[in-house]
Amino acid sequence: MTEKIKKTTSKKDATVKSATKVKLTAKEKSLTKIIAKLEEQNELLTDELVDQQLRVLAAEEKMLRVVAEYENGKRRVEREKERSLTFAKDRILIGLFPIIDNLERSALYEEEHENSETKLHGISLVLDQIKKYLKDTDDVEAFDPSGELFDPELHEAMAMQPADDHKPGVVIQVYEKGYRSGDRILRAAKVVVSQ
């Protein structure tokens, strides 16, 4: 009896399968092929989209790392710049300490001795020490433009005066010497110019 049921069931399945296997028209077959191709393309495009999204995420992470490295480098450069400036200022100040010591010694010596000749000698020694320090530190030296033609790059005219013994536009008096470091003018000389 079980065999009969099995045979009946298999006949029914075959009937159902044949009933579900509908014959398609040529147009329907063509559309089915197009749908299959579109589903394939859709799957490829989805895979490509996922791949592109992963690439974008990787690029964003890389960009964030580069930005962070740039910011860290920028902060490091700023710290180094501040350290360098501090070191340079310290170097200048340390160089001034012996000059201050000598000025104090000179002032103390002047209090103890009334001889004006030794006073001038002490002051000129300290002045020479300052000039040497400036020259050695940054090649700084004073310049006195007396008798030179007025040059607005080097001189600052404080006044103009008539002068019979000079041509017009010549420096006839210097109020303050100028200072230069190599080719750079640190302070223009303050001068009186002939008319």
Find out whether 165 and 154 touch, Cβ atoms under 8 Å. Answer: no
CATH topology of domain 24-138: Hemagglutinin Ectodomain; Chain B (3.90.20)
Domain map (residue ranges) of the chain: 24-138, 139-195
Task: Return averaged pLDDT per consecutive 10 residues of the chain, 195 residues in all.
Answer: 52 52 84 93 95 96 96 96 89 80 77 68 81 85 92 94 90 91 89 94
* Per-residue confidence (pLDDT) for residue 4, from 0 to 100: 52
* Per-residue confidence (pLDDT) for residue 135, from 0 to 100: 86
* Per-residue confidence (pLDDT) for residue 80, from 0 to 100: 95
Q: Give, in words, the CATH class of 139-195.
A: mainly beta
- Sign (positive/negative) of CA torsion 98, 101, 107, 113? negative
* Per-residue confidence (pLDDT) for residue 128, from 0 to 100: 85
Give the H/E segment covering residue 69. Answer: helix 26-112
Q: Do domains 24-138 and 139-195 have the same CATH topology?
A: no
